[in-house]
Amino acid sequence: MFRWLSRAWWRASRDVEQLELWEILRLRGTRELAARNPPALVAAAERCRDCRQADECARLIVGGRDAEIEAFCPNVMYYRHLSAMQRHAVKRSLTDT
């Protein structure tokens, strides 16, 4: 019971607007891509909100070492998916005539 209450308090105490997710998306230039699929973005925000490594994540982001979060981040596959979408996006300079 105590464990469940502790987990519920943790989830409620994290402000969605302050999640490290947003900074990672900004740093990687994938926030616009993420916004194209709201259900996936909501799921990523929930995983971030529930993560117990938030302090370590924030420390790495501030230190410019955001790539190191891949060792523990529950959104690692989501970030990789967005990066792949970014790499394979049609480049406007190639399609403009």
| Angle (deg, nearest 10), helices 76-88 and 38-50 | 150
- State how far the Cα of 19 lies from the Cα of 43, in Å rounded to an integer: 13
- State how far the Cα of 25 lies from the Cα of 91, in Å rounded to an integer: 20
Against a cut of 0.85, is the pTM above it?
no
1 within a domain of the structure (yes/no)? no
5-61 pLDDT per residue, tens: 445 444 555 688 899 999 999 999 999 999 999 999 999 999 999 999 999 999 999
User: How many residues are given for the chain?
Assistant: 97
The total domain count for the chain is 1
68 within a domain of the structure (yes/no)? yes
Residue numbers of the domain that contains 54: 13-86
State the average pLDDT over residues 55-68.
94
70-94 pLDDT per residue, tens: 999 999 999 999 999 999 987 776 5
21 within a domain of the structure (yes/no)? yes
96 within a domain of the structure (yes/no)? no
38 within a domain of the structure (yes/no)? yes
2 within a domain of the structure (yes/no)? no
